[in-house]
Amino acid sequence: MKDFLIEYAHIVATTILGLLFGLSFFLLFLNFYHYKEVTTTYQPSTENGTAYEQFMKEVQEIKENANTYSQKTYKGQEEVFDMLNMQTKIQMCLKLYETDELKALLTKETYTVNDVYELASYYQNEILNDCIVIQMYNLGSEESPSINSPRLRAISPFLKLEMDQLLSEGLGYLKNNMKNNDIYYFSNDDSKTGVFELTKNSYLEVVNYYRHSLAFLKNFSQWYKNLAIGG
């Protein structure tokens, strides 16, 4: 009887071990196919240059606008402190577009969902937080103690409106959509198409976010240039 119980227990243990091994293999199999899904890539068109090259042209123009002001030659009515303050804010923002990290993110030949997520995270952390919020946002306040320029105060409501639009463009929803891209089923044409479309659409949307922020800086730098020239 004792030998029978030992043999029975051995059979049960072997069966359980076999089931666990089978389950582990099945989960590994699913994760392998999930990995294939999330690495489905999108290749952006470079017919008009890469996004990085396009952005650098905008950055260069903004930089030239900002450098129009020189304390030595300026003869306008604005306070030197205000002119330098605005110039510095523009220059600090531009440095965030010229980092090696962003260059690497924007010059990939192909993009996975994870690549686009990293590009979106850089935009959120560096462009929105460090440029728009930290550097530029107080220019949109008519009561900002750091700016005394009546001309800036006159346009500050419009600046605030534009910056609020940048901050509410739906980046958080887009990132969550990419982050929750958990497709745990067998690889097929429909699932590959779904991941490809998510990658493509997310990439194009994130790149447009960058364009919108540069358009804002470009418009402001043009206003600043006119101020520096006209006094």
pLDDT (tens digit, 9 = 90+) per residue, 96-128?
999 999 999 999 999 999 999 999 999 999 999
Asked if residue 47 is part of any domain, the answer here is: yes
pLDDT band at 142 (very low <50, low <70, confident <90, very high): low
Instruction: Please count the structural domains in the chain.
Output: 1
Q: In the predicted model, is pLDDT for residue 28 greater than 80?
A: no
Q: In the predicted model, is pLDDT for residue 94 greater than 70?
A: yes
pLDDT band at 228 (very low <50, low <70, confident <90, very high): very high
Asked if residue 59 is part of any domain, the answer here is: yes
Asked if residue 32 is part of any domain, the answer here is: no
Q: What is the pLDDT of residue 176?
A: 80
* Out of 82-91, 132-141, 153-162, 170-179, least confident range: 170-179
In this prediction the pTM is: 0.79
Asked if residue 138 is part of any domain, the answer here is: yes
pLDDT band at 192 (very low <50, low <70, confident <90, very high): low
Q: State the average pLDDT over residues 139-166.
A: 85
Asked if residue 44 is part of any domain, the answer here is: yes
Q: Which residues of 12-37 are buried (b: 16+ CB within 10 A; e: fewer)?
A: eeeeeeeeeeeeeeeeeeeeeebeeb
Q: In the predicted model, is pLDDT for residue 13 greater than 50?
A: no
Asked if residue 33 is part of any domain, the answer here is: no
Asked if residue 161 is part of any domain, the answer here is: yes
Domain that holds residue 80: 39-230
Residue 69: DSSP 8-state: -
Q: How many residues does the chain have?
A: 231
CB 166 within 8 A of CB 128: yes
Asked if residue 30 is part of any domain, the answer here is: no
Q: What is the pLDDT of residue 16?
A: 52
More confident position, 176 or 117? 117
CB 59 within 8 A of CB 92: no
Q: What is the pLDDT of residue 231?
A: 61
